[in-house]
Homo-oligomer: A and B are copies of this chain.
Amino acid sequence: MVEKIKITFPDNSVKEYNKGITALEIASSISHKLRKEALAVKINDKIKDLDTKINEDSKIKFLTFEDEEGKQVFWHSSAHILAEAITSLWPETKLTIGPAIKEGFYYDVDREPFTEEELKKIEEKAYDIIKKNEKVTRKEIPKETAKELFKDNPYKLELLEEFEDDVVSVYYQGNFYDLCRGPHIPNTGLVKAFKVLKASSAYWRGDQNNKQLQRVYGISFPKKSMLEEWEKLQEEIKKRDHRKLGKELDLFFTSDLSPGSPFFHPKGTIIYNELINLFREEYKKRNYKEVITPVIYNKKLWEISGHWEAYRENMFTLDVEGQTYALKAMNCPGHVVLFKNKTRSYRDLPLRIAEFGIIHRNELSGTLTGLTRVRKFVQDDAHIFVAEEQLFDEMKELLDFVNYIYKDVFKMNFRLELSTRPEKYIGDLETWNKAEETLKKLLDELGYEYTINEGDGAFYGPKIDLHVEDVLKRSWQLATIQLDFNMPQRFDATYEDKDGTRKHPIMIHRAILGTIERFMGIIIEHYAGKFPVWLSPEQVRVIPVNENSKEYAEKVKEYLHKNNIRVEASLKPETVSYKVREAQLQKVPYIIVVGDKEKEKNTVTVRSRENKILGEFKLEDFKNKVLEKIKTKTEILDL
């Protein structure tokens, strides 16, 4: 009798199979679709090849291109196809390593730089390999055998030297083989679209003292249409690049005189300040208190907070009268000092302290990018001091706040991630468990879907992170809500409870946009510069049809300006169509052309930046409609 094993699927259903069945056979047993789309399998949380035999009761999950982990396997296998293509064209080429990356894969090889034609040839050869639908097989061999196998490749030999195990794995496909941990897709034919993107130079193991290699980048997909979509998206991303739009729309610029500290032109400053105003308005409603704290602090502060030990290299330091100071890299310790400056009682809690403080972090100049990777920035952060029994309600309020900002204001989808106690943690287990339970209960009760990131919390407490999706389906980790049982203890910040005892409050660190700079970079791309009216640096452009209408155009401008609408009049000697086009390029939401007709009736004829005629309106009506758009923060321009 054949021995049976129990297989548990992600939906917790259980099926019996014969012992020794492969994962691929199980996939076939479930559906034809799954058999075709499965790339690899997770057996008891370990990713394996599909031809892995299963000999005991297991929990399994098939990985497809939909899964982040499935994509990584797919792209890793594509790197092997890339390497096979290169070595079959130029057999003398020495392979080094070739991983999957966030989007696609690369392979570093030792040879001369590639020409454009050579890159084309590689792509063609890759398609040959795909068409052949070569079977991909894993073989485990003794390390010594492997050394013999790779004796002509010093890079692989160097890697082999470092492996601790006596047995290593090699993957074979066609005539090609590579030293590799795997796992891989079962055959090369699963790749339907393959593109070589570019080649650049790189050093063996990233060390400038080592030999220079050629790094060839590629991307691949299980469907042709997916590559087409991806290419369209890349073009869109290029067009929307916030650095490009930042220049075209006159929003900001960077300078070698202060790398990583962007300069904001007047128009960029308007957006910056509107984002801050959005929060100031909410702070009034939600009873936050704004404060102002120093930018530089004596090292002593950072020693108490623990940042001197853990974060020193990220801070700019300076000498002040013989003592070491640092530019603040976060507002939190200053807020604890402010909390401690007064005697606090339970009546003061929750105390919500917010600041738009200027933060500096010492990032390498090579990593700086426009607004999304900077050295100087402002966070919309706040620190909330709560008693333990207030935690649930406060977290509820925080999720409401986050929801308001992303769903109601920016109309962006997000997903939540709950990160729990890491291996190294401080505080007592009971508090941790209670806090984690509180967060889970909260998310469940409010009906939020969330993933759990076991062990990925901060050492001082669990946290909820928000991943926001932009219009190009890119995901950005923005808001974060972190519980902290640590900092109040370190500074011995306490409040007097009802019973007269002094207690340490729980401190919640939270930021909703994250940093104003980075968020601005993201929404410039999200909106492609076509901001909703409330965020548009210029909300209305007035254009007179001719010389005679100039006076009325100025009158309209003055009227709107006095009513707090950001408006410009275009009075220079150019044609109306030129001026309309110019306003559209500047993404001004409302473009008004006025002539004798409008002047007589005291009206304005309005078109949108999309060149849609929105109608003729009494000037006052138009003003009221625009003010309403501003107030409601809507993205719809129709009046």
- Which residues of A line the B interface, CB within 8 A? 250, 253, 255-258, 261-266, 268-270, 272-273, 284, 289-298, 300-301, 316-318, 320-321, 325, 327, 334, 337-338, 341-342, 347, 353, 358, 360, 362, 364-365, 376, 561, 564, 572
Contact = CB atoms under 8 A, between A and B. Distances in A.
B266 A341 contact: no
Contact of A269 (B261, B291, B342, B376): B291
Contacts of A263: 291-294, 334, 337-338, 341
Contact of A318 (B272, B273, B318): B318
Contacts of A268: 292
Contacts of A296: 258, 261, 316, 327, 360, 376
19 contacts: A253-B341, A257-B301, A258-B297, A262-B292, A262-B294, A263-B291, A263-B294, A263-B334, A263-B341, A265-B338, A265-B341, A266-B290, A269-B291, A284-B564, A295-B358, A296-B316, A316-B318, A317-B318, A318-B327
A269 B295 contact: no
A242 to B, nearest CB: 16
A298 B258 contact: yes
A353 B316 CA distance: 29
A317 B253 CA distance: 24
A285 to B, nearest CB: 9
A436 to B, nearest CB: 32
So how many copies of this chain end up in the complex? Answer: 2
A485 to B, nearest CB: 23
Contacts of A360: 295-296
Contacts of A376: 294-296
A477 to B, nearest CB: 24
Smallest CB-CB A-B distances: 6 pairs? A261-B294, A266-B289, A258-B294, A264-B292, A318-B318, A257-B301
A365 B321 CA distance: 8
Given A317-B318, A318-B316, A250 B342 contact: yes
Nearest to A302: B257
B298 A256 contact: yes
A365 B291 CA distance: 24
Q: A255, A272, A325, A347: which has the most chain B beta carbons within 10 Å?
A: A255
Given A263-B338, A341-B263, A290 B273 contact: yes
Given A296-B258, A337-B257, A264 B250 contact: no
A360 B298 CA distance: 15
A519 to B, nearest CB: 15
A316 B325 CA distance: 10
A264 B289 CA distance: 11
Contacts of A316: 296, 318, 320
A276 to B, nearest CB: 11
Given A295-B295, A296-B316, 16 more contacts: A255-B294, A256-B298, A257-B297, A257-B301, A258-B325, A262-B292, A263-B337, A263-B341, A266-B291, A269-B291, A273-B290, A284-B564, A294-B376, A296-B327, A316-B318, A347-B572
A337 B334 CA distance: 32
Nearest to A364: B321
Contacts of A342: 250, 265
A435 to B, nearest CB: 27
B337 A298 contact: no
Contacts of A298: 256-258
Q: A258, A263, A292, A572: which has the most chain B beta carbons within 10 Å?
A: A292
Nearest to A333: B257
